[in-house]
Amino acid sequence: MKNVNKTNDKEKFRPVVGIDLGTTNSAVAYIRYGKPEIISSPNGKELIPSVVHVDTSGKIVVGKDAASALVAMPSRTIAAVKRKMGSSESIDIAGKKLLPHEISSLILKELKGYVDRVFGEGEKEAVITVPAYFTDEQRRETKLAGELAGFIVERIINEPTAAALAFGFEHIDENSHILVYDLGGGTFDVSVVEMMDGILEVKASTGNNYLGGEDFDWKLVDLFAEKMIAKHRVDPREDLRGRALLKEEAEKAKILLSTEESVRVSLPIVTVRENQPLGFEIVLHRKDFVQLIDEMLLETIDSVRNVLKEAKLRSADLDEILLVGGSTRIPRVAELISDFFQKEPRVDIHPEEAVVLGAAIQAGLKSGVLSKDGLIVTDVTPYSMGIAVLKEWQGLAIHPGGFHVIIPKNTTIPTTRSEMFCTSRAGQSAVSIEIFQGESEWAKKNHILGDFLLEGIPPNHAGAEEIEVVFRYNINGILEVTAKCVSTGEQMSVTVQDALVRNSQELYLESVNRLQEFLKKATSSDEEEWEGFQIMMQEMLQEEEEDDEYEDELTHDELREEAITLSERTKAMVGNYRGNERRQIKQMVSKLNKAILKDDFEELQTAIDKVTDKLIDLEM
C-alpha cells in the first residue's frame, strides 16, 4: 500500500466524496457549488442496487444489470452482502469464494468509476457511512473494502448522523432536538440529535443490525412458499432459483403495498417437479403484510423508547422526526411514529438519499470545502468499551471474566477516560488486558476488540501494584488503549482500530491477491445455466425504465424474439389448465411456433395477439 501522506497538500487537490454503502442500494455524492450532489451512474441513476454479478465471460457487473441476474443466475449473483460484513465466512459466487468485505469492495469500485469520471485520475478520499450499531469489526471491514476499491478512507460516519447532517445543513440556524429513525434494507438505527447554533451533537444511538426490508421480504417468501407447499407439497425455497424468484416477487409486492391496498401475485412457474412447472397465485392485502411484520416494527418503537431514555428526553421534547431508509415508505411505519409522538414526521427529505447527501456534507467539512458554513458535528460511541476484570458473582465469590466499562455507550467523542486497577494475586509480574465492546456485565457475551500483555510488574502482595488503564477514542473511531504500571512507569499501548491498516497489512494484501485471482479466473464452466435462461435474462436486462417512452413499432427481429419468449412461457403454463382450455392453448402455441418458423411479420403479430388475448381471458 502506498503512503498517502502529502508533503504539500496545496500542490495536489484530493477530492473527498461521501458514500452510502447500503444493503439494498448504494450511492456516492460530493459538494458542488456549495451543495451536496449525487454522482449519477452512466445510465443516469443516482442509486444503484448493491448487487454483484459475474457473467459467463468473467466480467464483473454491479448495479441494475446485476440485480436483473438474481433470478436467472443466482449462483453467479450476490445481494445484501452488507448483512454479512464482519463475518469471516466466505461467500460462494461463480464457483469462487470471497469474503464479504471483498464483495463490498466491488460495489465501491463501481462507485469509484463514477467519481473518476467527474474528477479524472488521481487519489480520491471517501467518507463511508455505516449503521450506528455496527461493531468495530464491521466498521473496520467497511474501511478495508473502501481501500480495496482504491479509495483513501480516513473517516467512517454513522448513517443516522449523516441523515441529520443533510437536514441540519438546510436548517443551520435552527435550534432543535431531532430523532432520526433509519429503517433500511438490512439494518435499523435510531438516534437523537441536538442542533444548537450550528453544532450538531448526537445525544444517543441504538439499533439492530439485523432488522430491515430484507426481513420483511423473507416473511413474504415464507408466506408464498407455504402457499405452494399446501398446493403442491413442494417447498420452492429448496430450489436456489425458485427461492430467488420468490424473493424478487416479494420485494415487488412489498413496494406496491406502500401505495396500494392489495396486490395480486401470480407466478405460473417457480420450480419444476417431474418436468411439470409449479407455481402459485395469491391476492395479498396490505393488512396481511402488516400483520406479518408488525412484531418487528414494534421492536423499532421499543428502540425509540430506549434511545429517548438514554438521551434523557421525553417524546414531547422532540421537535422533528426524520424517516430515513427505503423501508420507511411502508405506511405502517409513519403510523406508528405518529401514534408514539403525537406528531407527524417530516416528509420533505428523501428517505433513500438523505444518508449519502449527509456523507457528502461530512466529506465537504473534512476537505475544507464547507469550512465557512459554520457546521460542527459531534458523534457518540455506539457501544460501551472496557476490559475484562475479576467480578463478584451473586454476592458470594470473585469470578473472572467480568466486564468493566471505561467508556460508556453514547459518550460524546473524541474522549479520553482512565481508571485504576490493581494486581489480583501475590507475586504477579504481568497483567493481560482484554478489550471488549458491548453492554453485558460479562465479557464473554460482548465483542472482543483485542488484547495485550503488560509485563515488568514488580512481584508484590496481591493488590499492592496499581495499573492505570487509559482509553482514547477519537473522531475517526480509532481506539487506543494504554496500560501502565504506576510504580515503575512501565507501559504498553495498542491501537485497536486505525484508519488504514489493522494489526498489519496482511489482511489487505490477502484480499488484494484473492480479488486478483477471482477477477482472473471467474470464467464460465456452467454454460447450461446460461443457455437455459438466456431468454429470461435478455428480457430482464432490456426492461424499460419508468421514464422511458414506449415505442409502438417493433422491428421484425424484436417481434420474432417476443414470439419466442411468449411461446416458451405459454408452453410452461399448459400444465396449469385442463380439458378444453388446455387444448386451445396447445393449438395456439402450435400456430405461434409455425409463424415463428415461417418468419412472416403479419402472421407473427396475429399469432401473438391471439395467444395474449386468450391468456388474458383465462386470467380474468
**CATH number of the structural domain spanning residue 473:** 2.60.34.10
* pLDDT for res 556: 66
In which band, very low, low, confident or very high, does the pLDDT at 147 lie, cut at 50, 70 and 90?
A: very high
Q: Which of 461, 495, 529 is the last residue of a domain?
A: 495
Angstrom distance (rounded) from CA 101 to CA 91: 10
Give how many domains the chain has, as a whole number: 2
Q: In terms of residue numbers, what domain contains 468?
A: 385-495
* pLDDT for res 94: 87
| Nearest Cα to Cα of residue 162 among 437, 377, 307, 385 | 377
On the question of pLDDT at 266 being above 80, the answer is: yes
On the question of pLDDT at 396 being above 90, the answer is: no
In a domain, 254, yes or no: no
Q: Which of 461, 480, 495 is the last residue of a domain?
A: 495
Q: Which of 462, 477, 495 is the last residue of a domain?
A: 495
Q: Provide the 3-class DSSP secondary structure of residue 125.
A: strand
Residue with cell 424468484: 245
The one catalytic residue in 136, 182, 352, 379 is 182
On the question of pLDDT at 539 being above 80, the answer is: no
In a domain, 515, yes or no: no
In a domain, 509, yes or no: no
In a domain, 233, yes or no: no
Q: Give phi and psi for 496, each to the nearest 5.
A: -70, -40
* pLDDT for res 620: 39
**Which three cell numbers, joined as nine digits, stand for 418?**
482512565
* Residues near 583 by beta carbon (within 8 Å), at least 6 away in sequence: none
* Residues near 477 by beta carbon (within 8 Å), at least 6 away in sequence: 136, 139, 156, 497
The one catalytic residue in 64, 82, 366, 409 is 82
pLDDT in tens, 349-370: 899 999 999 999 999 998 888 8
Q: Provide the 3-class DSSP secondary structure of residue 192.
A: strand
The one catalytic residue in 136, 147, 154, 159 is 159
* Residues near 343 by beta carbon (within 8 Å), at least 6 away in sequence: 318, 321
In a domain, 252, yes or no: no
In which band, very low, low, confident or very high, does the pLDDT at 333 lie, cut at 50, 70 and 90?
A: very high
Q: Is the dihedral of CA 416, 419, 425, 427 positive or negative?
A: positive
Model pTM score: 0.76
398 vs 218 pLDDT, higher one: 218
Q: Provide the 3-class DSSP secondary structure of residue 373.
A: helix
In a domain, 597, yes or no: yes
On the question of pLDDT at 329 being above 50, the answer is: yes
* pLDDT for res 572: 65
137 is catalytic: no
pLDDT in tens, 105-114: 999 999 999 9
Cβ neighbours of 23 (radius 10 Å): 23
Q: Provide the 3-class DSSP secondary structure of residue 387.
A: strand
182 is catalytic: yes
In which band, very low, low, confident or very high, does the pLDDT at 598 lie, cut at 50, 70 and 90?
A: confident
- Please check whether residues 456 and 389 belong to one and the same domain: yes
| Nearest Cα to Cα of residue 181 among 305, 26, 362, 20 | 305
The overall average pLDDT reported for the chain is: 84
444 is catalytic: no
Pairing of strands 412-413, 320-324: unpaired
* Residues near 594 by beta carbon (within 8 Å), at least 6 away in sequence: 607
Residues 257 and 288: beta-carbon distance below 8 Å = no
55 is catalytic: no
In a domain, 131, yes or no: no
* pLDDT for res 593: 77
* pLDDT for res 414: 85
* pLDDT for res 535: 45
In a domain, 8, yes or no: no
Q: Give phi and psi for 177, each to the nearest 5.
A: -100, 130
Angstrom distance (rounded) from CA 28 to CA 101: 18
In which band, very low, low, confident or very high, does the pLDDT at 457 lie, cut at 50, 70 and 90?
A: very high
The one catalytic residue in 20, 55, 189, 215 is 20
In which band, very low, low, confident or very high, does the pLDDT at 476 lie, cut at 50, 70 and 90?
A: low
Cβ neighbours of 231 (radius 10 Å): 12
Q: Is the dihedral of CA 161, 167, 169, 174 positive or negative?
A: negative
